Amino acid sequence: MTDPVDETTLKGYARIAAYLRTIDGSPGVYRMLDEESRVLYVGKARNLRARVSNYARPTGHSGRIARMISETTSMMFLTTRTETEALLLEQNLIKQLKPRYNVLLRDDKSFPNIHVARDHAYPQIKKHRGAKKEKGNYYGPFASAGAVNRTLNQLQRVFLLRNCTNSDFETRTRPCLQYQIKRCSGPCVGLISEADYAATVRDAELFLQGKTKGIQQTLAVQMGEASEALEFERAAALRDRIKALTQVQTAQGINPQATEEADIIGLHIDGGQACVQVFFIRANQNWGNHDYYPRISGDEDPSEVMEAFVGQFYTNREPPRAIILSHGLDNDDLMARALAEKAGRKVEVIIPQRGEKAELVQGALRNARESLARKMSETATQARLLKGLAEAFDLAAVPKRIEVYDNSHIQGAFAVGAMIVAGPEGFEKNQYRKFDIKGEGISAGDDFGMMKEVMTRRFKRLKKEDPDRTSGMWPDLLLIDGGAGQVSSVREILEALDVGDVPMVGVAKGEDRDAGKEVFYRTGKPVMALRHNDPVLYFIQRMRDEVHRFAIGTHRAKRSKAIGATPLDDVPGVGAARKRALLAHFGSAKAVARANLADLKAVEGVSENMAQKIYDFFHENG
């Protein structure tokens, strides 16, 4: 008599086969896990039993799937009512868990929009990114901040809309520079009526909707009327606006005529790497493009990569009415239903064969092909630089993650620490970190104390979150801006934290502080320099300049925020609207602090109770 098999000791296809007795043909999502319970793969199925039985076969798999099966020691299942629900759940889990064997969209930043505010009699037009919580109309998405800025520039030239904040608007006594250069109509000082300004806002929104022909005709009529009335200055201003609009229309000549709202997605795969180009078409206008490099293993077919990309791309984004693809999906209709369910309206998934849409796809494909070629060239160059860096500093292995640190302050004020990260993909900006120096026990300008605080916070957190160093977040090399003293100080900190094995190099400017004469300090080794024309030296200079740029930018932002702050920010119950009302009424925060109770009650939007709170705040804390 043989002993029963302990199924928990099985691995690979045999372990997967054991699950077939416990699952049925329901739709759902499955997860494959390794011996340390890390998720290897997340997949969806119309019929879970049928899909899992495919993995239970010992042969007939691609190299990637065979490796995944061999590492599988357990599985998890979640049934859903429909396959559409399974698809949506699958993409959410992939983005959350980032399994090793799934195609993974790595860059997931939000896209900016143009916001026409509706909280003011003279609406402001501005760039907006993130949740759409403010009142008003939103137009987008645009592929980049640059694309938004270009469009905003066009709108200001043609429609003379304000871009100042409401608080700036309320406190101005004369027109600003934007008015002087003919980018604003001066509503802040009454140079345009509320009705006329509202009309220009309507025209701007028509422009953003692609309806420019009627605007130009209206402006031409107004220019003619102004000329007949001998209002030559107004006629000249209208002429300039028509000219600006004509230039915009000329620049938009490449825009599609028959495609009003769509995302054009082109995929190119080469050498085990993939590039996806997304073009945003809204209101028959091309609002820019963005490239992505999803993580793939190299043996996926294009339909698998495209389906994974589309599913993950729209997890946190509203899909347009049409999604035009260069490659079909395994199930186009299922994706269309899932996206329509998410958007609450019809969404078409189109793989065009001819016509304008096919031409748009060819353009996206061309951009994807060229972008991937540049990326592969840059990656090869980066690999050579990292190898050269390892050789120059006698590192045990080629570094995959380099962390570079710097501080910025003005005589100790507004002090910040900055960390940037570089690796095989170049600068990894989503890994950058800033540290507000809390300054406990640190004297003004104490760079050593600031660096100690930054290093202590950074590595204490690393040890807490990843003590086994398996996440890839531990640095293979630290670059510190400084000489022997700085290196010695940081080394003491690392050893005190029991992470003294992390390699570290101090970068000092050297003689006359000239770029190109840098010298490098390492613990227990002589000072060294690199050849003046060594590419590795240029690479180090770029990293040092980048961390310096990031540190300075962070410091300036902190300083600007502090300078722009007022005592009103600390008054409980005084939000942005009440703050604007108080500043508009009294002219300054100092005047608010000195105001008597009766004057505070007279401010629109400030109740008797709130007036009392404001009065008590300044007089009890003054």
Which ranges constitute the DSSP H helices of 320-354? 332-343
Contact between 120 and 169 (Cβ < 8 Å): yes
CA 450 from centroid of its chain's CA atoms: 28
Q: Residue 525 in 3-state DSSP?
A: strand
Question: What is the maximum alpha-carbon separation in the chain?
Answer: 111
Whether the per-residue pLDDT at 501 is higher than 70: the answer is yes
**Element of type H or E holding 461:** helix 447-465
E-assigned strands of 34-191? 39-45, 74-79, 113-117, 125-128, 136-139
Residues 6+ away with beta carbon under 8 Å from 361:
264, 266, 324, 325, 326, 352
Whether the per-residue pLDDT at 254 is higher than 60: the answer is no
Nearest Cα residue to 83 out of 376, 292, 336, 263:
336
Q: How many CB atoms lie under 10 A from the CB of residue 169?
A: 19
Q: Are strands 125-128 and 113-117 parallel, antiparallel or unpaired?
A: antiparallel
How far is residue 69's CA from residue 14's CA, in Å, rounded to a whole number? 9
> Helices (H), strands (E): how many in the chain?
20, 19
What's the mean pLDDT in 541-560? 81
How far is residue 509's CA from residue 162's CA, in Å, rounded to a whole number? 46
**Element of type H or E holding 408:** strand 402-410
How far is residue 517's CA from residue 513's CA, in Å, rounded to a whole number? 7
Min mean pLDDT across 228-242, 323-337, 427-441 is at 228-242
What's the mean pLDDT in 70-75? 94
Fold identical between 262-374 and 402-562?
Answer: yes
Q: Tell me what pLDDT residue 269 has.
A: 94
Amino acid at 69: I
Whether the per-residue pLDDT at 2 is higher than 60: the answer is no
262-374 homologous superfamily: UvrC, RNAse H endonuclease domain (3.30.420.340)
What's the mean pLDDT in 537-560? 83
Contact between 116 and 204 (Cβ < 8 Å): yes
Q: Topology of domain 567-620, per CATH?
A: DNA polymerase; domain 1 (1.10.150)
pLDDT tens, position by position, 454-483 = 888 899 999 988 888 888 899 999 999 888
pLDDT tens, position by position, 108-141 = 677 888 899 888 889 988 899 888 888 899 988 8
Residues 6+ away with beta carbon under 8 Å from 574:
568, 582, 610, 614
Architecture of domain 402-562 in CATH? 2-Layer Sandwich (3.30)
Whether the per-residue pLDDT at 331 is higher than 80: the answer is yes
- Here the tokens at position 609 are 């109770």
Nearest Cα residue to 264 out of 285, 248, 293:
285
pLDDT tens, position by position, 142-169 = 888 888 888 888 788 878 889 888 888 8
What is the number of alpha carbons within 13 Å of residue 174 lying toward its C-beta?
A: 2
Q: Are strands 322-325 and 348-350 parallel, antiparallel or unpaired?
A: parallel
What's the mean pLDDT in 538-549? 90
- Per-position b or e across 265-279, b if 16+ CB within 10 A of its CB: bbbbbeeebbbbbbb
Sign of CA dihedral 220, 224, 229, 230: positive
What's the mean pLDDT in 585-600? 80
Q: What is the mean pLDDT of the chain?
A: 85
What's the mean pLDDT in 489-516? 82
Which of the four pLDDT bands, split at 50, 70 and 90, describes residue 314? very high
Q: What are phi and psi of 423, to 5 degrees?
A: -160, -160
Which of the four pLDDT bands, split at 50, 70 and 90, describes residue 93? very high
Q: Residue 111 in 3-state DSSP?
A: coil
Radius of gyration of the chain (CA): 30
pLDDT tens, position by position, 334-356 = 999 999 998 899 999 999 999 99
Whether the per-residue pLDDT at 622 is higher than 50: the answer is no
Classify residue 571 by its DSSP letter: S
Q: Tell me what pLDDT residue 268 has.
A: 95
How far apart are the two ends of the chain, measured CA to CA in Å? 90
Q: Tell me what pLDDT residue 251 has.
A: 47
How far is residue 604's CA from residue 606's CA, in Å, rounded to a whole number? 6
State the residue for tokens 């050593």.
Answer: 448
How far is residue 451's CA from residue 449's CA, in Å, rounded to a whole number? 5
pLDDT tens, position by position, 169-205 = 888 888 888 888 888 999 999 999 999 899 888 888 8
% of the chain at pLDDT higher than 70:
89
E-assigned strands of 293-328? 322-325
What's the mean pLDDT in 532-542? 90
Q: Tell me what pLDDT residue 348 has.
A: 94
Which of the four pLDDT bands, split at 50, 70 and 90, describes residue 285? confident
- CATH assignment, 7-97: 3.40.1440.10
SS3 content of the chain, % helix, strand, coil (to 5): 45, 20, 35
Q: List the chain domain ranges.
A: 7-97, 113-254, 262-374, 402-562, 567-620
Contact between 129 and 140 (Cβ < 8 Å): no
- Here the tokens at position 33 are 């896990």
Which of the four pLDDT bands, split at 50, 70 and 90, describes residue 248? low
% of the chain at pLDDT higher than 90:
38
What is the number of alpha carbons within 13 Å of residue 290 lying toward its C-beta?
A: 20
How far is residue 286's CA from residue 283's CA, in Å, rounded to a whole number? 8
CA 264 from centroid of its chain's CA atoms: 20
What is the number of alpha carbons within 13 Å of residue 194 lying toward its C-beta?
A: 3
State the residue for tokens 């469009």.
Answer: 151
